[in-house]
């Protein structure tokens, strides 16, 4: 019987060491102090012993019981105080930095479209949209682009099937709006365009344009210059210069390509502006009378101007971004900077 008692004493030590959960401690309590536990087993033996052995053994069992009760109580206390401070820190330590929720924002190209839209909205322009899947009529014919024009080959335009293409310019929206509305017209039309270009730092098979169109009585080239100058100064800054170069587009006459003084080097010359001090940002001109004919406008009564600018291009110039592909790679480290 004494052996059993000593054994229980020894086991108690290793048992309490092995336990590290409150649940385990409860089970240990049952094992030693429960109704069918070790202590009770030993108690049952006491009445069977001879009178002289009984007192001594009884005392030993009793002190073992106290020892077990104490150490299990201590174990429970330790385990529960260990758990509590942890929970407390998580909830109450106001000195720890908080967890910032990740807040998303607009893509830099969307931001540019919003900014450009805002500048033109202040000048009285409405926003218009057109489909990205187009017919040759809206992308070419109505815009005075003849059937043999190089831009109509499948090197320069994506053909889905005969007469179903992906628009290669937002100028399609000029026609769609003029078909539906009478002058005065004052719209800008942002959106995606597609061209079968090989992707590199400056080209992409898909990019964005913002088209502008203003038609009314007595609109002159001076109005075009005034509006573009206002836009450029507002969007790029008052110190940026504008320059118009004569150019050609089938749907405008006269036509111009519009440059701004290089915003990267300030016009001194750098790799972005090919050391010329100027970078092209848009094409523009006075609406060709043949375009008015397509939409049944009286070209004797109305005149207008149109322009189209590259959204990627102006975003890259404004922020000094050197590779167009960065816009499409969904790299949050790049995108979150804007």
Give the residues lining the site for ligand PHE (CB under 6 A): 169, 171, 249, 252, 283-285, 306-308
Whose Cβ is closer to ligand PHE: residue 31's or residue 313's? Answer: 313
Least separation in angstroms between CB 282 and ligand PHE: 7
> DSSP of 90-146, one letter per residue?
HHH-TTSPP-PPP-----HHHHHHHHHHHHHHHTTPEE----SEE-HHHHTGGGT--
> What are the residues whose beta carbons fall under 8 Å from the beta carbon of 187, sequence distance 6 or more?
125, 126, 127, 128, 173, 177, 211, 212, 213
Task: Answer for the pair 257, 280: CB distance below 8 angstroms, yes or no.
Answer: yes
Least separation in angstroms between CB 285 and ligand PHE: 5
Whose Cβ is closer to ligand PHE: residue 28's or residue 306's? Answer: 306
Least separation in angstroms between CB 251 and ligand PHE: 6
Whose Cβ is closer to ligand PHE: residue 19's or residue 109's? Answer: 109
Whose Cβ is closer to ligand PHE: residue 130's or residue 285's? Answer: 285
Least separation in angstroms between CB 171 and ligand PHE: 4
Whose Cβ is closer to ligand PHE: residue 4's or residue 149's? Answer: 149
Least separation in angstroms between CB 105 and ligand PHE: 29
Within 10 angstroms of residue 30's Cβ, the number of other Cβ atoms is 11
State both tokens at 263: 């915003």
Angstrom distance (rounded) from CA 52 to CA 302: 129
């Amino acid at each position: 019987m004494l052996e059993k008692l000593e054994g229980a004493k020894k086991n108690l030590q290793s048992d309490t060491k092995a336990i590290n959960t409150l649940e385990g401690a409860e089970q240990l309590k049952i094992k030693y102090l429960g109704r069918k536990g070790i202590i009770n087993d030993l108690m049952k033996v006491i009445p069977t012993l001879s009178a002289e052995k009984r007192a001594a053994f009884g005392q030993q069992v009793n002190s073992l019981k106290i020892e077990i009760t104490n150490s299990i109580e201590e174990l429970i206390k330790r385990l529960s105080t260990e758990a509590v401070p942890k929970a407390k820190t998580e909830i109450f330590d106001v000195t720890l930095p908080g967890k910032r929720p990740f807040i998303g924002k607009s893509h830099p190209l969307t931001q540019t479209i919003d900014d450009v839209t805002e500048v033109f909205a202040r000048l009285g322009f409405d926003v218009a949209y057109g489909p990205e899947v187009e017919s040759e009529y809206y992308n070419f014919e109505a815009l005075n682009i003849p059937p043999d024009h190089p831009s109509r080959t499948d090197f320069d335009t994506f053909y889905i099937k005969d007469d179903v293409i992906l628009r290669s310019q937002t100028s399609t929206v000029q026609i769609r709006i003029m078909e539906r509305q009478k002058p005065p017209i004052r719209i800008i039309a942002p959106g995606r365009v597609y061209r079968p270009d090989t992707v590199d730092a400056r080209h992409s098979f898909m990019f964005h344009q913002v088209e502008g169109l203003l038609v009314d009585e007595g609109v002159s080239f001076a109005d075009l210059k005034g509006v573009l100058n206002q836009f450029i100064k507002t969007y790029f800054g008052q110190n940026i210069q504008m320059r118009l170069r004569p150019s050609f587009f089938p749907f405008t006459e006269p036509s111009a390509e519009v440059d701004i003084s290089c915003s990267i080097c300030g016009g001194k010359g750098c790799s972005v502006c090919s050391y010329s001090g100027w970078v092209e940002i848009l094409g523009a001109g006075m609406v060709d009378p043949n375009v008015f004919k397509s939409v049944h406008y009286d070209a004797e009564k109305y005149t207008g101007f149109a322009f189209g600018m590259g959204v990627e291009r102006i975003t890259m110039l404004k922020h000094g971004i050197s590779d167009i592909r960065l816009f499409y790679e969904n790299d949050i480290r790049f995108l979150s900077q804007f």
